[in-house]
Structure 1
Amino acid sequence: MRAEVAIVGNGVAGTACAMRLAREGIRPLLIGPGLPVDRPPLTKSALADGVPRLLSDAARLAERGIDLLDGMVASVDLAACMLTVATEEGETSVAAERVVLTTGLAYRPPPIPGLDGAFVNANPHVFDALGRLLTSGPVEIIVVGAGLIGTESAATLAQAGHSVTLVDLLDRPLDRLHAPLPDLGRETLDELGVQFHGGVAIESATEYSLETAAHGTLEADVILAATGGVPFAPPGLAIDPEHLPLAVAADMLVPGYERAYACGDLVLVPHARFGAMRFPHWDAAIGTGEHVADSIAGNGGPYERLPYWWSDIGPRRLAEVGFAEAASTWAEEDGLHVGRNTSGEPVCVLVVDAPRRLREARAIVQDGA
């Protein structure tokens, strides 16, 4: 099989890249298991009704001039742009003019005995079983991990009528994020009736329980692991896992290769203003996917798209523009939470429950450039 551009990964970044290439008249081959699917943690309705949301279907992709190959890449030769893909019918070889790696993150529970049997709601395939449990009626759920995905998931499940306990080794939900996010997260969870336990060291787990060092045995009908993901590179790719996320050039080329690109959660985003940054969010997946397509089509330039993320934690809407890690100080300014760098420039703005002020927040960060 031959392809103008072979895209390895059919998530948000891969689909965005394919759509943009097709608009430029370049026919891509999108490779991945099944149809392109959105990230379940960010489609809260998937937790509410147990059904992951597709990014597109086969008919619409065909109309746009996008080919699909249902399978998993088994090996990659980036120098020759050759792929081996494992499908239900057997192995298929793909010779491409260019290759784009969009393999994103791999989500696995931490290496705790028994926890590998927990549901990982970032993996679409678990919804075959998880969806039936969540839609069968109110159940007791323990969510392990109180980062952004875990806190969002706990709030969504509580709103759906389930009894939810959220646990983390850290003392607060969203504890790795800047103020006032941890306090806002805890306040919202309390309002929704989510029980939060911090400082929980899990020693072992079963399908329905956690054994902890200081909190005894915690039991539930469902154990849901929301402990984050790590960048994932396809088998056969000569990249040391310690070198992930992958540093790419401004045009998203993989260093050392002339026809291989990478984007999405796999890469350090080469931002023109903020430098190489890890930013594993939906909007960056779209932005970097489209940036690769522009580079392939000859319309490339510096990557200047402002970092942006949002989160619905129950009824609370959080949105942030800019790069929080570039901020050295934070202060509330006219109802917005503004982060400034050591030179006093606004580099990030958090908007809480005020979506109409998002344009204002974006202008504040842009004016600080």
Structure 2
Amino acid sequence: MNGSIVKGIFLSFEDHGVARGIPWSVVNEYFPEMFVVVAMGGLVLDAGMGLALWLRPPSQESSVLFLAMAAAFHSFVAFTMSQRIGYTFPAICLAGSLLFLPLGQHKNNGDTSLVEWIKRYATGSPAIARAGPWQRKFTLLWIAIQLALPLRMPIISGGAFPFTSQGYRFSWTMMLHSKSDRITHIGSATTPDGNPTERVFQLGLTYLLPTCPASRTTTNDSYILRSQYMPGTEAPTEDSRTLPLNVMVNSLRHHALLGVYPRHLARVAGGVARIIDSFPQTCPHQPNISVYGVNFVQLNGRGAFCRLFDPTVDLAAADRARSHQNVWQSWRSVALDRAPVGNEYLLLQGLGTSRSRVS
């Protein structure tokens, strides 16, 4: 409620050049309370839309109130966040509100709230005699799914979803926590004309290491340097043993996706491994290379960084195992948001001893 998550998100937009020209750092300097206003405004509008639909009998007034709150909420999101998340989310929400929320109500349909109507559907009240049994079952099933998918998140993650993002796609907590995999230091530098200036230095704590597995002639895995498969991507500030993710993943949205959903890093590792495997001279005695991941994250900008990836698990092998699952195994992996059996690379237990300090 103190606006710290909102502040971190909008300040990161400015750092990455997707702030639509809004000087969030200046806003933070002169009016830091603005982020509390934005956070509370989002809470009021988001909760208000639900209350307007659920707790009041449908009427012309409640429909107009809902549409006004939906327009305000999603218009703000579309303007301030579209360069990061795109227009799809706000556009679909606004279109759905306009297309599927009737402004005129049948005289017999507006006698009570939506909560009471759901109760009538569940109990088979005579008041809904026009709804057949299959229509009622479908409606109740749809409502159950809308409740079950978000509730799945804390259950399958054991409460660690702010770190692991397990079951996070249908979430009610997207603005309640954030994580970072970078250490930021604000230092000083000198411009070409000799004037001192402020400079931001960042150390990334997420990287992927491709290796050649040990063979009969070697006892240990050997690192694969960038010059062997993507020459020209070496940089003095980057480890040449790591995959050049800044070159391979050049979209800010894709970088944001990998930050929110760490499981996709295994997809990246598997895809890159298949490309490197096509160069037989890279690992002449092995059919498949290995890719290991390092990922440390900090929650809400406080406390220590926690290791998220098991550094002993081959991400490329995990991705190959995923692609070879049968239908039922795939459904299990999706439902539980787990890697294939024997290939789990997320540390799902005891994510750092500092969790109590960062919650």
Establish whether TM, by shorter chain, passes 0.5: no
Q: Which has the higher helix share?
A: 2
TM-score w.r.t. length of structure 1: 0.23
Q: Which has the higher strand share?
A: 1
Which structure is richer in relative contact order (CA contacts within 8 A, separation 6 or more)?
1
Q: Which has the larger radius of gyration?
A: 2
